[in-house]
């Protein structure tokens, strides 16, 4: 009976964190408040430790849950989400929230996981995505985006009226979800009166749509006052910038001291603090970005932000994902891995481990939520700097130690003069630490430490420690604390204990010193393998677990209805649930290995992902068990390919009679100078991917050059190209811009019909500043012949359906206007049996388009998470670019002579792990040395997991469904 009641109770409060109210179960209304120290939920302070994640860069809803669970497990209590207007709206008035666009489902998941949400619906988001999230159809309208123009105003209101009510349904304030903040616009740098009114208009709309949570800004603390002011202004900061080619090059830390002082009503808030860096075509690659912004950067900079008094930090990005389809803005490529804590293939990195260390500290030491700076003597070694902060209510002190110059790599030693109270409530006095003879504090290379003093935890009192503090919990009648430091460095921890304790060193080497006068126990040790010390004699037994960083990273602090629980081991611990004498854990392993659970009293049975596992009790009163690992898996090789020529548009006799004539007489696009014909692809509804133009003219014989003005992406240097053919002869491939193509006299058919075929890439619409950059045309804008002013009659062809794609499942950004895309060659089930068989790699000497198709039948274990990627290997001396389709989804864009991306993750859900997968690759050979390299499937990880992924709807080719394009 007892068991039934307790499990019911537990179901109600499942996943309830102790440090903040449980979002999932929190029925009823909640107050989200704040003062200049921190956010407060129902009056309780919160250190907001948050990460950015874009659902639209992970097109498989079940994987959203995976990312959210990983974030929660890694110590994040919030997730910051951009809602991408363009992703939901293919044309004015049409909004789609189904399937991979079902954000209701996403917000439900966040509530289920128990993670707060910072909602950022724009209207403008930037984010290195096409148009910065502004829908491409705005490029056909006159009004400048982010201005009071009536057409723009009507457009963004439409978006807000769709997205706001969804966000509103999931607000913590209503008790129906976990949304706690709402961002108004994004990086509106210009704080003009007009922009203040624009902000106010968005805010009024949000309130009218039911948004009740506080409104925040990411405008470098603009809009703090006056019309349209936000309640929580924030700073965004990318102190290392975005050049990953020098991954060791750091810039200095800016401490925001003046800004902290100036903010009297709200906390020092970073809606975006550097969590990685985006990379550009031809860039250094994300391994370099991850190195640049690695664990040392996280430790030094994020801890310095805490030292500066910030209690709201969000890291952009924590999971970056992919610019699948044509999601990218010009400049960036398909991977948006960002060098983030969690990789594009959802793997956990050392950056995640470091984030977990800090996040776990913040979740377990509430004193950090309210601190004032206090003056503390400089370290003996002036190469180092210390900042002191104290909680004014309970006296807990924090010492933040680092190099004075954060970029320094030197190895420094020092003593610190700290203020300590030897017993709870006693007067403080100065003390030089470390006290051990011959010992010093050390900052070895780029490093930082947070030391605690005068800290009450459980029934214990910590006078100070020279180790970093991870966490403390209470389990089985004892307090347990985890401390750590750099491998090999000395540490000392001093506790106040009422009477002389018995000190049992259960593991490792720890010496203890009892000061009977002060009632203080000092433990001296070196950080390394896990040491365990049981201190018995205080108000409750205390188990201290001490190790180096690697040891600390193995711990998971997980919330249960019984309070936070400590588990050691496993690749990932997703959740824990205690029922009677059993504890059920859900998590992932990369190999068989031990797990240790510091379980509540009376718990001796363990379930791992639903399966009972034998346990053993340890001298530390914990349970250990052996967890199973995944089976090794081999992926099939892609040996059998079929190939088909893919640019019939080049042939003079190609029938383009059903193509759209470029006969518009007017476009609202502000870049239009009044000249006809209007060639701008956006004007004809072709907003994404490649477009074809075919032009006809009757040659006089004097035509010498073809001048084309092609717009492929910002400044046009961004690897967008166009290829041109005259009567089937290749005239060349050039990058976007004003380009000249020379016509040889023998290529002309004098007195007859001549045909130009032009293939133009669209690398995405520019992000928007304040000058309409996002409306810059795409495709051609002007075409003239020199030698003779012969007029050209043009037709244009782009993605099938334009703003009305044949289905919304994959959406308007999945395809462009290649013949094969229009004919369904990218789709599963396309009948390619009549195509020629081919082996890869292949060399192709003719510029144009060639399609390749194959399939891969997989049979991966259902209980394993095995992220699969398509890899193209080739040397950069061949000139081609490729679109990669898996089951009809465009998962990547490859440019062989530019790089840097060769590996294209395919989210499970798009990939069928237990079925046949269609792979289609469309290659645009941009020169006479084209082809396609070796293509293979690679595994990017392998874990045994409770994660289950449903397949996306992936509409297949249907006979008869495709007319001749």
Count of residues near ligand GAL by CB under 6 A: 11
Note if 768 is an active site residue.
no
Nearer to ligand GAL, 89 or 218 (CB): 218
For residues 471 and 555, is the Cβ–Cβ distance under 8 A? yes
Q: Indicate which single residue of 69, 128, 298, 447 sits in contact with ligand GAL (rule: CB under 6 A).
A: 128
Q: Segment near ligand GAL (CB under 6 A), from 119-127, 294-302, 597-605, 791-799? A: 119-127
- Which CB sits closer to ligand GAL, 86 or 172? 86
How far apart CA 42 and CA 535 sit, in angstroms, is 37
- What minimum distance in Å lies between the beta carbon of 55 and ligand GAL? 15
Q: In whole angstroms, how close is the CB of 118 to ligand GAL at the nearest point?
A: 13
CB of 814 within 8 A of CB of 889? yes
Nearer to ligand GAL, 279 or 492 (CB): 279
**Residue 12 CB, nearest distance to ligand GAL (Å)?**
38
Residue matched to tokens 């008094």? 309
Shortest distance, CB of residue 336 to ligand GAL, whole angstroms? 9
Of the candidates 69, 80, 272, 703, the residue annotated as catalytic is 272
Tokens of 240: 């290392």
Q: 125 or 213: whose CB is closer to ligand GAL? A: 125
Strands of 113-187 (E only): list them.
Answer: 116-120, 179-183
Closest approach of ligand GAL to the CB of residue 148, in Å: 22
* Beta carbons of 342 and 298 less than 8 angstroms apart: no
Query: Closest approach of Cβ 242 to ligand GAL, in Å?
Result: 7
Pair 10, 240: CB distance under 8 Å: no
Q: Which residues of 202-212 are buried (b: 16+ CB within 10 A; e: fewer)?
A: bbebbeebebb
Q: Which one of the spans 125-133, 359-367, 500-508, 722-730 is the region binding ligand GAL (CB under 6 A)?
A: 125-133
Q: Min. distance of Cβ 218 from ligand GAL in angstroms?
A: 6
Residue 187 in the binding site for ligand GAL (CB under 6 A): yes
Listed ranges 121-129, 352-360, 428-436, 741-749: which one lies at the site for ligand GAL (CB under 6 A): 121-129
Q: Does 134 bind ligand GAL (CB under 6 A)?
A: no
Cα separation, 273 vs 302, whole angstroms: 9
Nearest residue (CB) to ligand GAL, 126 versus 493: 126
Among 800, 822, 784, smallest CA distance to 703 is for 784
**Strand arrangement of the beta sheet that strand 32-34 belongs to:** 32-34, 39-41, 44-46
| CA atoms lying within 13 Å on the CB side of residue 138 | 35
Q: Which is nearer to ligand GAL, 322 or 954 (CB)?
A: 322
Of 236 and 524, CB closest to ligand GAL: 236
- Residue closer to ligand GAL (CB basis): 282 or 829: 282
Of the residues 80, 141, 185, 187, only one is catalytic, namely 187
**Min. distance of Cβ 51 from ligand GAL in angstroms?**
14
Residue 912 binding ligand GAL, by CB under 6 A: no
Q: How far is the CB of 286 from ligand GAL (least distance, A)?
A: 13
In the bound complex, what is the minimum distance in angstroms from residue 320's beta carbon to ligand GAL? 9
Stretch that binds ligand GAL, among 126-134, 367-375, 753-761, 945-953 (CB under 6 A): 126-134
Choice between 235 and 253, CB closer to ligand GAL: 235
**Which strands sit side by side in the sheet containing 397-403, from one edge to the other?**
372-374, 384-390, 397-403, 448-457, 460-465, 490-496, 520-526, 510-515
Q: Which of 159, 269, 278, 692 binds ligand GAL (CB under 6 A)?
A: 278
Catalytic residue at 187? yes
Q: List the one residue from 126, 472, 575, 826 that touches ligand GAL (CB under 6 A).
A: 126
- Stretch of 120-128, 614-622, 625-633, 905-913 contacting ligand GAL, by CB under 6 A: 120-128
Residue among 235 and 692 whose Cβ is closer to ligand GAL = 235
Residues in CB range of 887: below 8 A, 6 or more apart: 828, 910, 911, 912, 917, 918, 952, 954
Tally Cβ neighbours within 10 Å of residue 360: 24
Binding mask 305-324 for ligand GAL (x = CB under 6 A): -----------x--------
Does 479 sit near ligand GAL (CB under 6 A)? no
186 touches ligand GAL (CB under 6 A): yes
Of positions 113, 119, 125, 306, contacts ligand GAL by CB under 6 A: 125
Q: CA–CA separation, 89 vs 121, rounded Å?
A: 13
Closer residue to ligand GAL (CB): 317 or 743? 317
Instruction: Give first-to-last CA distance, the chain, whole Å.
Output: 69
Closest CA to 767 of 141, 97, 146, 55: 146
Q: What are phi and psi of 55, to 5 degrees?
A: -55, -35
Name the H helices within 732-847. 819-823
Select from 857, 856, 895 the least CA-distant residue to 719. 895
Closest distance between ligand GAL and the C-beta of residue 247, in Å? 17
Ramachandran quadrant class, 226 (left: phi over 0; alpha: psi -120 to 50; beta: rest): left
Structure-token pair, residue 266: 């709200």
**269-274 and 236-237 beta bridge pairing:** parallel
Candidates 108, 185, 272, 703; binder of ligand GAL (CB under 6 A) is 272
> CA-to-CA distance for 920 and 957, rounded, in angstroms?
13
- CB-based contact 160:123 (threshold 8 Å): yes
d(CA 687, CA 546): 58
Question: Is residue 509 classed exposed, middle or buried when 0-12, 13-18 and 19+ CB atoms within 10 A define those classes?
Answer: exposed
Cα separation, 311 vs 292, in Å, equals 24
In whole angstroms, the minimum distance from the beta carbon of 125 to ligand GAL comes to 6
Stretch that binds ligand GAL, among 122-130, 173-181, 675-683, 809-817 (CB under 6 A): 122-130
Q: Which residue's Cβ has the minimum distance to ligand GAL?
A: 126
What residues numbered 199-218 form the site for ligand GAL, per CB under 6 A?
Answer: 218
Window 219 to 238, contacts with ligand GAL (CB under 6 A): 236
Contact status, residue 305 vs residue 235, Cβ threshold 8 Å? no
Listed residue (523, 530, 503) closest to 596, CA to CA = 530
Q: Which member of 24, 100, 111, 127 binds ligand GAL (CB under 6 A)?
A: 127
Which among 764, 837, 829, 780 has a CA at the least distance from the CA of 330? Answer: 764
Closer of 125 and 202 to ligand GAL (Cβ): 125
Closer residue to ligand GAL in complex, CB, 128/776:
128
Minimum distance between the CB of residue 348 and ligand GAL, rounded to whole angstroms? 22
Name which of 498, 442, 482, 445 is nearest 466 in CA terms: 442
Q: Quote the CA–CA distance of 234 and 232 in Å, as a whole number.
A: 6
The residues that are catalytic are 187, 272
Catalog residues that contact ligand GAL under the rule CB under 6 A. Answer: 125-128, 186-187, 218, 236, 272, 278, 316
């Amino acid at each position: 009976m007892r068991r039934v009641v307790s499990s019911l109770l537990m179901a109600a409060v499942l996943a309830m964190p102790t440090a903040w109210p449980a979002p999932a179960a929190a029925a009823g209304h909640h107050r989200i408040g704040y003062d200049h120290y921190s956010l407060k939920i129902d009056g309780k302070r919160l250190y907001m430790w948050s990460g950015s994640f874009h659902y639209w860069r992970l097109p498989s809803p079940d994987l959203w849950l995976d990312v959210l669970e990983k974030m929660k497990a890694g110590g994040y209590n919030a997730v910051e989400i951009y809602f991408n207007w363009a992703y939901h709206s293919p044309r004015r008035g049409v909004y789609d929230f189904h399937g991979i666009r079902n954000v209701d489902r996403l917000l439900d998941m966040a509530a289920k996981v128990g993670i707060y949400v910072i909602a950022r619906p724009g209207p403008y988001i930037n984010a290195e995505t096409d148009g910065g999230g502004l829908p491409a159809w705005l490029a056909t309208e006159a009004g400048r985006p982010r201005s009071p123009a009536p057409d723009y105003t009507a457009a963004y209101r439409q978006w807000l009226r769709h997205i706001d009510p969804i966000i509103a349904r999931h607000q913590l304030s209503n008790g129906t979800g976990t949304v706690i903040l709402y961002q108004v616009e994004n990086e509106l740098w210009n704080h003009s009166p007009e922009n203040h009114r624009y902000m106010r208009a968005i805010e009024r709309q949000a309130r009218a749509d039911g948004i009740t949570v506080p409104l925040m800004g990411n405008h470098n603390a603009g809009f703090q006052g006056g019309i349209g002011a936000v309640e929580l202004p924030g700073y965004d900061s990318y102190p290392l910038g975005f050049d990953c080619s020098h991954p060791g090059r750091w810039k200095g830390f800016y401490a925001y001291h003046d800004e902290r002082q100036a903010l009297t009503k709200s906390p020092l808030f970073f809606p975006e603090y550097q969590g990685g860096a985006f990379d550009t075509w031809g860039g250094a690659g994300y391994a370099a970005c991850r190195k640049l912004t690695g664990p040392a950067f996280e430790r030094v900079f994020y801890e310095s932000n805490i030292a500066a008094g910030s209690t709201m930090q969000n890291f952009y990005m924590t999971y970056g994902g992919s610019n699948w389809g044509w999601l990218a803005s010009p400049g960036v490529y398909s991977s948006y891995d960002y060098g983030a804590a969690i990789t594009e293939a959802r793997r956990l990195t050392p950056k995640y481990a470091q984030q977990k260390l800090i996040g776990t500290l913040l979740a377990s030491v509430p004193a950090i939520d309210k601190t004032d700076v206090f003056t503390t003597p400089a370290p003996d070694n002036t190469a180092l700097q210390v900042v002191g902060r104290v909680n004014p209510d309970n006296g807990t002190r924090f010492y933040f130690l680092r190099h004075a110059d954060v970029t320094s790599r030197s190895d420094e030693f020092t003593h610190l003069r700290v203020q300590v109270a030897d017993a709870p409530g006693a007067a403080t006095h100065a003390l030089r630490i470390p006290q051990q003879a011959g010992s010093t504090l050390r900052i070895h290379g780029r490093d930082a430490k947070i030391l605690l003093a005068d800290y009450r935890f459980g029934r214990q009192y910590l006078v100070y420690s020279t180790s970093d503090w991870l966490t403390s919990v209470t389990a089985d009648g004892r307090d347990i604390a985890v401390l750590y430091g750099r491998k090999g460095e000395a540490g000392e921890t001093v506790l106040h204990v009422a009477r002389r304790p018995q000190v049992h060193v259960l593991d490792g080497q720890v010496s203890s010193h009892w000061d009977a006068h002060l009632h203080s126990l000092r433990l001296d040790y070196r950080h390394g393998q896990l040491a365990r010390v049981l201190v018995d004699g205080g108000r409750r037994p205390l188990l201290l677990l001490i190790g180096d960083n690697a040891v600390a990273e193995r711990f998971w602090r997980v919330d249960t209805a019984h309070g936070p629980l400590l588990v050691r081991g496993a690749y990932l611990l997703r959740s824990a649930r205690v029922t009677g004498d059993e504890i059920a854990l859900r998590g992932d392993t990369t190999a068989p290995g031990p797990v240790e659970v510091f379980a509540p009293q009376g718990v001796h049975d363990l379930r791992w992902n639903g399966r009972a596992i034998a346990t053993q009790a340890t001298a530390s009163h914990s349970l250990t068990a052996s967890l199973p690992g995944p089976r090794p898996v081999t992926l099939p090789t892609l040996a059998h390919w079929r190939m088909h020529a893919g640019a019939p548009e080049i042939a003079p006799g190609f029938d383009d009679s059903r193509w759209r004539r470029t006969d518009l007489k007017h476009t609202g696009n502000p870049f239009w100078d009044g000249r006809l014909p209007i060639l701008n692809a956006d004007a004809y509804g072709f907003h994404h991917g490649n477009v074809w133009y075919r032009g006809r003219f009757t040659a006089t014989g004097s035509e010498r050059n073809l001048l084309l003005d092609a717009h492929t992406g910002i400044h046009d240097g961004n690897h967008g190209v166009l290829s041109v053919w005259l009567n089937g002869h290749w005239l060349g491939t050039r990058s976007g811009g004003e380009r000249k193509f020379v016509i040889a006299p023998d290529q002309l058919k004098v007195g007859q019909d001549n045909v130009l075929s032009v293939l133009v890439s669209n690398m995405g619409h520019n992000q928007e500043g304040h000058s309409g950059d996002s409306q810059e045309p795409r495709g051609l804008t002007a075409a003239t012949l020199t030698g003779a002013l012969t007029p050209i009659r043009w037709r244009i062809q782009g993605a099938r359906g334009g703003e009305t794609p044949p289905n919304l499942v994959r959406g308007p950004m999945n395809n462009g206007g290649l013949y094969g895309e229009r004919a369904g060659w990218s789709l599963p089930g396309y009948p390619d049996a009549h195509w020629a068989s081919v082996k890869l790699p292949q060399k192709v000497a003719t510029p144009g388009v060639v399609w390749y198709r194959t399939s891969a039948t997989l049979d991966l274990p259902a209980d394993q998470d095995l992220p699969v990627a398509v890899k193209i290997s080739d040397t950069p001396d061949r000139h081609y670019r490729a679109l990669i389709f898996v089951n009809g989804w465009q998962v990547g864009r490859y440019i062989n002579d530019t790089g840097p991306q060769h590996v294209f993750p395919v989210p499970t859900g798009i990939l069928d792990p237990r079925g046949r997968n269609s792979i289609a690759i469309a290659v645009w050979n941009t020169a006479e040395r084209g082809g396609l390299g070796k293509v293979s499937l690679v595994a990017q990880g392998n874990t045994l997991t409770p994660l289950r992924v449903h397949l996306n709807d992936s509409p297949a080719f249907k006979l008869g469904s495709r007319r001749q394009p």
